[in-house]
Chains A and B, each alone.
Chain A
Amino acid sequence: DGGITQSPKYLFRKEGQNVTLSCEQNLNHDAMYWYRQDPGQGLRLIYYSQIVNDFQKGDIAEGYSVSREKKESFPLTVTSAQKNPTAFYLCASSIWGRQTGELFFGEGSRLTVL
């Protein structure tokens, strides 16, 4: 079955540690995205990538980094520079250039900083 796989589903981190969230898709989609969701807030865009080896900052990129070495993979690193990293992280993909541009989401990764 085609879809987006995020791992881990739950992650606990001590302050000062970097953590990497995995996102893999087998939908053959060109574009991939990372969103962050906090209680009572909408989804906010962290980074997005249209093609391999290229990515752009979203609205809240500070304290995060990404890579796009393969079409299928778009890992997100939450660095120690991110001041408030506890959140629900969602990876998504879409067919770039399609008018409707609907996003397909993975199941999410919930990060808690202890």
Chain B
Amino acid sequence: QKEVEQNSGPLSVPEGAIASLNCTYSDRGSQSFFWYRQYSGKSPELIMFIYSNGDKEDGRFTAQLNKASQYVSLLIRDSQPSDSATYLCAVNLNTGFQKLVFGTGTRLLVSP
């Protein structure tokens, strides 16, 4: 089992719809969770992080964490074509040192 798993996609949504991206992780002791957006050929940029169970909202983005079920999700409301990118989930494992493990990413396509 991979430490961090994401569906590779592509996930296709029409403009204005809600995009839902999911991520599961294997280490129950994981401390913090991150969503990065990566445009083709570019480096990842941090969108949100979350470390408490529940929802965290920032503008059109909402991160949801459920530690009991070991999943974290990212909702993008009012999706725009500019949101088309690969979204990487990263988990800070409970390994005693600060190390992020990344999923392979989900490609999101928002059509006008």
Q: Interface size on B (CB < 8 Å)?
A: 24
Q: Does B49 contact A (CB under 8 A)?
A: yes
A101 pairs with B105, CB closer than 8 A: no
Q: Is the interface of A mostly helix, strand, loop or mixed?
A: loop
B98 pairs with A101, CB closer than 8 A: yes
- A107 and B43 CA atoms in complex are apart in Å by 5
Query: Which of A13-21, A41-49, A60-68, A74-82 lies at the interface with chain B?
Result: A41-49
Q: Does B51 contact A (CB under 8 A)?
A: yes
Q: Does A84 contact B (CB under 8 A)?
A: no
A112 → B minimal CB distance (Å): 13
A102 pairs with B49, CB closer than 8 A: yes
Contacts of A50 in B (CB 8 A): 97
Interface string of A85-114 (1 = CB under 8 A from B): 000001000101101111111111000000
A44 → B minimal CB distance (Å): 8
**Which B residues are within 8 Å of any A CB, using their own CB?**
4, 8, 31-32, 34, 42-46, 49, 51, 88, 90, 92, 97-105
10 contacts between A and B (CB under 8 A): A35-B102, A42-B101, A45-B100, A50-B97, A99-B32, A100-B32, A100-B92, A103-B46, A105-B43, A105-B45
